[in-house]
């Protein structure tokens, strides 16, 4: 395998101390099925990400309140031991009686998402499928939701999303704070890491890695076609305290069970990080490797009760602009909503993603199945190109109430015999050449359509002063030869 060495600056929501995970090596995968899947995934552009678990009962910051770390985004508990006992009992209150996987799938489709990633298990170890490895699971007969129609939540969601032709991603945490072989009851648990010395207790660590392997194998075996294994908890890595999760073994099993599956051992680098996942952050420049930004609609990944998030929900215009910016740089957006204890989402968050979806329904041709093209961005304009490299899309992002008469495409010289159309309507628009730039007449828009105006340009002579026309296949070939 050829290797690309990159210094990736990641902004990580969970801890600024994770700067140590930046600058990891990226290995260009040579498995033809994986490369084909990666190419298809890069066509999709928008994913629907959901954090959901027993922590949503109290609107907690996912699993993190059980960790004793002095970080600014956690409120410490005076009696952490007592709180942990309370926390790990939350599944006894978790009864999402309003959960309807078909309704979730409809929302994903309405927002314009093309793939779905679900937290099958977060760091607290509570498993949202019918695992045979632990009783700490949604289908435990002692828990109230165990006998519901959709008790195997992961399976019901994956089935519903496939009916909408979604790619399926299984998020699972590598660390498991409920497992006695990760957090041994023999010792205190001062932080997120394994709480014993692995070299002194190799039998415990083997039991833990076998447990993890077996849970992943269940997901790969019993839940239909899975396209992405999305791994979280980068600190569970052999480079940190010897926490070797046996990723070669895990990855090989996944590829045997699910040929072509993309494995995302995020922030770790190497063979099993098929694409990069900056968190709550959009890179300043286009990246040469596959990547997605995972980002929340409000301030947090997990559910927050309505009154605490209303002022933090991103506006639909802002989300749309973020998506456009990400796509222009060659990335995907994995957009997260946290589900409520009842099994739905905050009204304000649903409204903004549906509004973004309304814009995509009209302008998706400039987003889906496109690739990056220099100069990517200039002022309020973003560029994309068709995969065959024959057409360019210029997307003019507008602020509320903004209705300019014309837009200057400073990085794009349109051929005199070209045709420019408004993507949303298919109507031809008038343009003129201005030196090495193009001046385009702007159509008037209202409502969600006014977030941005996308133009399809049939023929371009120059982009940012360079001759245009190199196909994506040629660009990909160049990248593989780096």
Residue 426 pLDDT: 98
Residue 322 pLDDT: 98
- Side-chain half-sphere CA neighbours of 199 within 13 A: 4
Q: Are 335 and 113 within 8 A, CB to CB? A: yes
169: closest CA among 126, 124, 232?
Answer: 232
Residue 76 pLDDT: 76
Residue 95 pLDDT: 98
Which range, of 56-70, 130-144, 328-342, 438-452, averages the lowest pLDDT?
56-70
Q: What is the rounded average pLDDT of the residues 440-445?
A: 98
Residue 34 pLDDT: 97
Q: Are 224 and 166 within 8 A, CB to CB? A: no
Residue 429 pLDDT: 98
Bridge partners of 3, per DSSP, are 27
Going from the N-terminus, what domains does the chain have, and what CATH number goes with each? 3-366 (3.20.20.80), 370-480 (2.60.40.1180)
Residue 306 pLDDT: 66
Listing DSSP states for 158-226 in one string gives HHHHHTTT-EEEEEEES--TT-TTTS-TTS---SSS-SS-TTT-HHHHHHHHHHHHHHHHHHHHHSS--
First to last CA, the chain: 11
Residue 60 pLDDT: 92
% of the chain surpassing 70 pLDDT: 91
Q: What is the pLDDT of residues 363-389, one digit of tens each?
A: 999 999 999 999 999 999 999 999 999
Q: Rounded to an integer, what distance in angstroms lies between the CA atom of residue 445 and that of residue 398?
A: 10
Q: Rounded to an integer, what distance in angstroms lies between the CA atom of residue 9 and that of residue 19?
A: 8
DSSP state for residue 453 in the 8-state scheme: E
C-alpha angle 9/11/12, rounded to 5°?
125
Which range, of 21-30, 222-231, 327-336, 466-475, averages the lowest pLDDT?
466-475
pLDDT at 356 over 50: yes
Q: What is the pLDDT of residues 250-271, one digit of tens each?
A: 999 999 999 999 999 999 999 9
pLDDT at 291 over 70: yes
Q: How high does pLDDT run on average in the chain?
A: 91
Q: What is the pLDDT of residues 169-219, one digit of tens each?
A: 999 999 999 999 999 999 988 799 999 999 999 999 999 999 999 999 999
> Exposed, middle or buried, 442 (CB in 10 Å: 0-12/13-18/19+)?
middle
Q: What is the rounded average pLDDT of the residues 437-463?
A: 96
DSSP state for residue 139 in the 8-state scheme: T
């Amino acid at each position: 395998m050829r290797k690309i060495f990159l210094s990736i600056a990641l902004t990580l929501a969970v801890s600024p101390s994770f700067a140590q995970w930046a600058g990891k090596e990226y290995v260009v995968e040579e498995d033809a099925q994986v490369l084909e899947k990666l190419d298809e995934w890069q066509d999709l552009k928008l994913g629907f990400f959901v954090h959901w678990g027993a922590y949503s009962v109290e609107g907690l910051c996912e699993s993190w309140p059980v960790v004793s770390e002095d970080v600014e985004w956690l409120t410490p508990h005076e009696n952490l031991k007592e709180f942990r006992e309370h926390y790990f009992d939350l599944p006894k209150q978790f009864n999402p009686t309003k959960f309807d996987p078909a309704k979730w799938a409809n929302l994903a489709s309405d927002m314009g998402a093309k793939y779905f990633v679900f937290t099958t298990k977060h760091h607290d170890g509570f498993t949202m499928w019918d695992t045979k490895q632990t009783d700490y699971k949604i289908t435990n007969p002692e828990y109230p939701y165990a006998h519901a129609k959709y008790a195997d939540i992961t399976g019901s969601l994956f089935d519903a999303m496939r009916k909408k032709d979604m790619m399926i991603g299984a998020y699972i945490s590598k660390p498991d704070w409920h497992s006695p072989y990760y957090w041994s009851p023999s010792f205190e648990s001062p932080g997120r890491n394994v709480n014993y010395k692995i070299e002194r207790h190799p039998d415990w660590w083997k039991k833990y890695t076998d447990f993890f392997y077996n849970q992943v194998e269940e997901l790969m075996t019993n839940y239909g076609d899975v396209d992405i294994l999305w791994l979280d908890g980068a600190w569970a890595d052999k480079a940190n305290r010897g926490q070797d999760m046996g990723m070669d073994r895990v990855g090989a099993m996944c590829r045997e069970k699910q040929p072509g599956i993309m494995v995302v051992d995020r922030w770790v680098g190497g063979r099993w990080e098929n694409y990069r996942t900056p968190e709550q952050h959009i890179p300043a420049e286009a990246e040469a490797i596959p990547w997605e930004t995972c980002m929340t609609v409000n301030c947090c990944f997990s559910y927050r009760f309505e009154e605490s998030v209303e002022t933090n929900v991103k506006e639909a215009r802002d989300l749309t602009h973020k998506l456009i910016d990400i796509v222009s740089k060659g990335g995907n957006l994995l957009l997260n909503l946290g589900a409520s204890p009842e099994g739905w989402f905050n009204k304000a968050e649903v409204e903004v993603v549906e509004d973004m979806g309304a814009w995509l329904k009209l302008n998706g041709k400039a987003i889906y199945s496109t690739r990056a093209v220099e100069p990517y961005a200039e002022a309020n304009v973003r560029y994309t190109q068709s995969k065959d490299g024959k057409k360019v899309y210029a997307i003019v992002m507008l602020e509320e109430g903004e209705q300019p008469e014309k837009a200057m495409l400073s990085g794009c010289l349109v051929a005199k015999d070209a045709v420019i159309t408004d993507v949303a309507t298919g109507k031809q628009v008038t343009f003129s050449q201005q030196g090495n730039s193009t001046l385009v007449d702007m159509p008037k828009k209202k409502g969600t359509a006014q977030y941005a105006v996308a133009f399809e340009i049939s023929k371009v002579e120059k982009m940012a002063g360079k001759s245009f026309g190199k196909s994506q296949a040629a660009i990909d070939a160049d990248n593989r030869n780096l």
